[in-house]
Structure 1
Amino acid sequence: MNKPETAGRTAEPWQWEEQTWREAVNQARAGRRLRPKSWPGGARCAVALSFDSDHETNELRDGGKSISRMSWGQYGNRVGMPRILEILARHDVKASFYVPAVAALLHEDEQRRVVEEGHEIGIHGWIHELNSVLPYEAERDLMLRAADTLEKITRVRPIGLRTPSWDFSPNTLAIAKEMGLLYDSSLMADEDCYELLLHGEPTGIVELPVEWIRDDAVYFSMHRFQSLRPYTPPTDVFDIFRREFDYAYEDGGLFQLTMHPHVITARSRIWILEEIIRHAKSKDVWFATHAEVAAYVKTHCD
């Protein structure tokens, strides 16, 4: 949304009229909470694991040509994905994978394997672009082309969206509604699922909320040419994830986790995924894809 003009110059936020800031807030908003009275099989908690298979697009999306950073993305395909899929198969757990179309085209066999093993693939942009800097026509074109590309490769039409970097433009929700998507998983207005409102009107689209606390990248990612060099001991990250799960379990709600194949699968970290699964399996939970959770809450909530 462009800043309004005041006395011939662009107004600062503290100069905005009430209509201006209300319109900014109401572009995409949380509506009714979607927490069912019970989960399938009488489970106390739903567990939705997800992986953003960005691979080389983390470098490509900014026009970068770093061979080093693209090799880090390739690690996600060569090493990370086989480790993740082996663990999920061993524990008989299904998960959701969000894949930029360019990454899917670079690694078509990976996407086919993911679907063949019963997991979900969702839209994650074309080249991991930032939606908030795109004009409407470009964002719509990229989302539609991304969905078509994933369907062509996997023969399954994606029904869920996770915007790259969780970057949501004023047009994203309207485009998702036009595409007939079941759900989004990019926003953070709750811990339980909720229905998304577009300019105050219900869309029928379910939000499976994310949170940076439940994302591996914020604890481990680094960029050697920038000041971004965080590092949290894997034991501390596991403790955070486990405490997030424990509270969700006691609360009877949803535990949603976001991970990346090139981040979580290092030898010193991959145990986090397996231990979270073991810990959750020791409780009465329902493991499901994001699409399964969205479909369930949409049909089991008043």
Structure 2
Amino acid sequence: MNNGNNVMPDASVQRNQLERARLFKKLKNPSWLFWMSIKYITLIFASIAVLVPPYCVLMASFKTLDEYYNTSKVGLPESFLNFDNYVKVFTDGQLGLAFSNTGIILVISLVLTIILGTQVAFVLSRFEFKGKKLVLLAYVIAMVIPAITTQVATFEVIKGLNLINSKGSVILLYIGADVVMIYVFLQFMKGIPVELDEAAKIEGANYFQIYFKIILPLLKPAIATIIILRTIYIYNDFYFPLLYLTDESQKTVSTALFKFTSVFGTEWTTISAGVIIILVPSVVVFLLLQKQIYAGVTNGAVKG
């Protein structure tokens, strides 16, 4: 018993001594020291570059305008209990209405995106028809064409449909602009055996029953991935709401803060408070679902 107990500490000591010897050997190597220093210096500067802007915004949200302009941007506010900017951005900026508009657009866009995306993927993966390759080629071309080159034509189409200042304009664009989701669903569809469809047909199921009772439930990982990624994109999108939802009653969270900018000046403290409020849901969702985000994207890539 004693001999067995003595072996474990000795082995542990030997491992520690070996690790220390390797470390000392590396420390004597100038090349290793140089690259390690470069790595940590780069990480430090990158961390500062990422963290300083949101820190400054957070500090500004607790300051008055006079304090903001007369003190350092990285300096602490006189009081962290000054919530006037947060109250003002909700009342004068109608941030509550902006969250409501964003929520409506988000939910409708996600539901239609999932329904249309999964159905298109189901048809393209399970059926053979003339022009199938042309359809796939059209999707590829749509992905490689820069979106900015089609904006004039897109605006004219939306205007012709009388959808300017209507939530339907951005909902339509969010649904039609996301070609990548179809390929994500297609990659997941490759992992669903065709034999399941054939077995269902033998039992008397039609294509709609196969889609709703077999395909859709098995696509839950892909659907979760699309929901997470599209939610982040739609919530943070600035371009479409700015261009198509100019009416005050249709503002989203990404454009609501424009109310505090004018030719006479910009209320940076109020805008900073609004930015913090808008950031909180995104940060919380990402922290809670980061494993699912990484896993979903990785699974889609591996299946491809």
Q: TM-score range by the shorter chain?
A: under 0.3
Q: Which has the higher helix share?
A: 2
**Which has more strand, going by share of residues?**
1
TM-score (norm 1): 0.24
Q: Scaled by the length of structure 2, what TM-score is found?
A: 0.24
**Greater C-alpha Rg:** 2
